[in-house]
């Protein structure tokens, strides 16, 4: 008894050490990718800034500053109460710095929600297809292929034109809208439309993860250890969740990071075309769309929402690239 009690903690410590080494190894490989590291820092900066948005700026999100005579006004303009508008004010007199910060909250939460759900769903579907094979795989693969041939943007435009412009209210569970409204600091009425957009983007976003996981599951399920697991009586659910999915997680993580950038751009594109999140809720896309008509007199205006959009979009792509290098077990050292 005593010996056993002595051995267990020792082995645990050893396991912890290898675990730490693994994470440290991944972190070290990631940090070697300089562009990825720089991108990660920039994204974290935007993220933290948007997290503390109500603390950083003195203006409420939709507050209209009627004291300033000329609207829009360039960055650094000082209003009659002596408050500085760091990034200027828009055509209605709202502080653009504030709106861009809140827009970061909205855009980032849309992206994280969409990617989290669609990658999880895609991974599950792909694992099931690859593990069971046969008829299930045939059906799922055909569905994936069909969804991939659909030109996304035209169909997205139709669906959002129908769902977002109509007044029909989806029966959503209260906690979803409440959580999102707390995260985005937006009233629940506005969150309704955002949830619709998130759902639409999920429907068109799960195929990449499903294809990756299907491929992994297909090759894993033929390996000996799966056969061994089956022979000791492990259930299919256990094999899929404890063995197949963890083994295929690395490419899913990379795909998720690349997708974060893609979803932000797609959501912004819809907002830009006026068919995404509508105006009182700020997003980088709809601020950009509004600035387009004032561009010739106020060339700074599109840059205000555009620069963070580009930084985050390109940033997530570089982070994904860095993750791919860091997680690739074939690159030892």
User: Is residue 146 a contact point for other proteins (CB under 8 A)?
Assistant: yes
- Range 290-305 burial, b when 16+ CB lie within 10 A, else e: bbeebeeebeebbebb
* Contact pick of 74, 306, 327, 328 for other proteins (by CB under 8 A): 306
Residue 19: burial class (beta carbons within 10 Å; 0-12, 13-18, 19+): exposed
What is the number of other CB atoms lying within 10 angstroms of the CB of residue 132? Answer: 15
Q: In angstroms, rounded to a whole number, what is the distance separating the alpha carbons of residues 71 and 88? A: 9
Nearer to other proteins, 124 or 147 (CB): 147
Residue 272 in contact with other proteins, rule: CB under 8 A: yes
Around Cβ 38, how many Cβ atoms within 10 Å? Answer: 14
**Using the rule CB under 8 A, which residue among 194, 252, 318, 326 binds other proteins?**
318
Work out whether 203 is an interface residue with other proteins (CB under 8 A).
Answer: no
Please return the burial class of 81, using the count of CB atoms within 10 Å of its CB with bins 0-12, 13-18 and 19+.
exposed
Minimum Å distance from CB 49 to other proteins? 20
Answer whether 91's CB lies under 8 Å from 175's CB: no
Q: Which of residues 161-200 bind other proteins (CB under 8 A)?
A: 161-162, 165-167
Q: With binding defined as CB under 8 A, does residue 331 bind other proteins?
A: no
Q: Is 154 in the site for other proteins (CB under 8 A)?
A: yes
Which is closer to other proteins, CB of 161 or CB of 199?
Answer: 161
Closest listed residue to residue 282, CA positions, set 92, 52, 71, 65:
92
**By the rule CB under 8 A, 296 interacts with other proteins:** yes
Q: Is 265 in the site for other proteins (CB under 8 A)?
A: yes
Write down the H helix ranges in 185-297. Answer: 188-203, 207-220, 224-231, 236-239, 245-247, 249-272, 284-292
Q: Alpha-carbon distance 333 to 331, whole Å?
A: 7
Least distance in Å: CB of 96 to other proteins?
Answer: 16
Q: How many CB atoms lie within 10 A of CB 147?
A: 16
Binders of other proteins in range 61-90 (CB under 8 A): none
> Tokens 């509508």 correspond to what residue?
278
56 vs 199 by CB, closer to other proteins: 199
Q: Taking CB under 8 A as the rule, which mask of x and - marks residues 117-136 in contact with other proteins? A: --------------------
Structural element, H or E, at residue 77: strand 77-78
User: Is residue 95 classed as helix, strand or coil in its secondary structure?
Assistant: strand
Residue 124 or 303 having the CB closest to other proteins: 303
Nearer to other proteins, 159 or 249 (CB): 159
Of 74, 75, 133, 274, which lies in the binding site for other proteins, with binding defined by CB under 8 A? 274
The residue from 273, 278, 279, 328 that contacts other proteins (CB under 8 A) is: 273
Among 118, 316, 323, 326, binds other proteins (CB under 8 A): 316
Residue with Cβ nearer other proteins (40 or 244): 40
309 is a contact residue toward other proteins (CB under 8 A):
yes
Site residues, other proteins (CB under 8 A): 35, 146, 149, 151, 153-154, 157-159, 161-162, 165-167, 261, 265, 268-269, 272-275, 288, 292, 295-296, 299, 302-303, 306, 309-310, 313-314, 316-318, 321
């Amino acid at each position: 008894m005593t010996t056993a009690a002595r051995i267990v903690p020792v082995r645990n410590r050893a396991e912890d050490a290898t675990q730490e080494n693994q994470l440290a190894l991944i972190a070290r490989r990631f940090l070697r990718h300089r562009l990825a590291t720089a991108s990660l820092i920039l994204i974290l900066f935007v993220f933290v800034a948007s997290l503390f948005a109500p603390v950083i700026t003195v203006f409420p999100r939709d507050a209209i500053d009627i004291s300033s005579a000329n609207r829009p006004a360039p960055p650094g303009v000082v209003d009659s109460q002596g408050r500085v508008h760091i990034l200027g004010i828009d055509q209605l007199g709202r502080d653009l710095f504030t709106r861009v910060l809140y827009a970061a909250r909205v855009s980032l939460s849309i992206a994280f929600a969409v990617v989290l759900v669609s990658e999880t769903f895609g991974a599950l579907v792909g694992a099931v297809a690859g593990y069971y094979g046969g008829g299930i795989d045939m059906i799922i693969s055909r569905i994936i292929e069909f969804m991939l041939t659909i030109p996304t943007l035209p169909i997205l435009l139709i669906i959002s034109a129908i769902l977002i412009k109509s007044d029909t209210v989806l029966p959503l569970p209260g906690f979803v809208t409440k959580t999102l409204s707390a995260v985005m600091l937006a009233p629940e009425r506005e969150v309704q439309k955002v949830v619709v957009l998130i759902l639409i983007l999920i429907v068109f976003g799960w195929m990449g993860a499903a294809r990756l996981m299907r491929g992994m599951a297909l090759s894993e399920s033929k390996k000996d250890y799966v056969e061994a697991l089956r022979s000791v009586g492990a259930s299919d659910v256990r094999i899929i969740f404890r063995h197949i999915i963890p083994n295929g997680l690395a490419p899913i993580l990379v795909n998720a990071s690349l997708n974060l950038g893609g979803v932000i751009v797609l959501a912004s594109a819809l907002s830009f075309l006026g068919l995404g999140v509508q105006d009182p809720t700020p997003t980088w896309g709809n601020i950009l769309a509004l600035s387009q008509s004032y561009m010739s007199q106020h060339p700074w205006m599109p840059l205000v929402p555009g620069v963070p959009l580009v930084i985050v979009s390109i940033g997530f792509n570089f982070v994904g690239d860095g993750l791919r290098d860091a997680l690739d077990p074939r690159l030892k050292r």
